[in-house]
Amino acid sequence: MRESVEITKEPKKKFFSSTEEEGNSKSLDEVNGSIIVPEDAGFWRTLMTYTGPGILIAVGYMDPGNWITSIAGGAQFKYSLLSVVLISSLIAMLLQSMAAKLGIVTGKDLAQLTRERTSKRVGFALWIITELAIMATDVAEIIGSGIALELLFKIPLVIGI
């Protein structure tokens, strides 16, 4: 006697969805997560709960390319560029806090809000500009790592890159 088994295919789940398909866009769950702190946690435990992610962000912000560039600039120009470092750091903190507040209030990231509130042409132009900025940052990191390898291990710059 044969038993028939019905096989149904589940639709593939998309990691990213477009606004046209579902009416809203959702980020990955781990991006939209939050830190859970027990109510009875003391001051130090609460502080350490928030300090851990902060340290990870700081490490990402001060990468090897940044270190090498800062050290080389400091060695060459001494303290004459310190005001530029201060102003750019303050502007970066302002932009990060504005992005964080926007994310907290709306529950969406900058890319999602850009997609919702701008035309496709403007969104595409902003995407291209962002990609170019990311590439410029990556080039600086690669060159900085190559310089670090040359300084530390005498590996030629061309090979280190």
- Type of residue at 65: G
Task: Tell whether the model's pLDDT for residue 16 goes beyond 50.
Answer: no
Domain edges within the chain: 40-160
CA angle in degrees (0–180, nearest 5) for 47-109-23: 135
**Per-residue pLDDT tens digits for 115-148:** 999 999 999 999 999 999 999 888 877 888 888 8
| In contact, 35 and 49? CB cutoff 8 Å | yes
**Per-residue pLDDT tens digits for 43-87:** 998 888 888 877 877 777 777 667 777 788 888 999 998 899 899
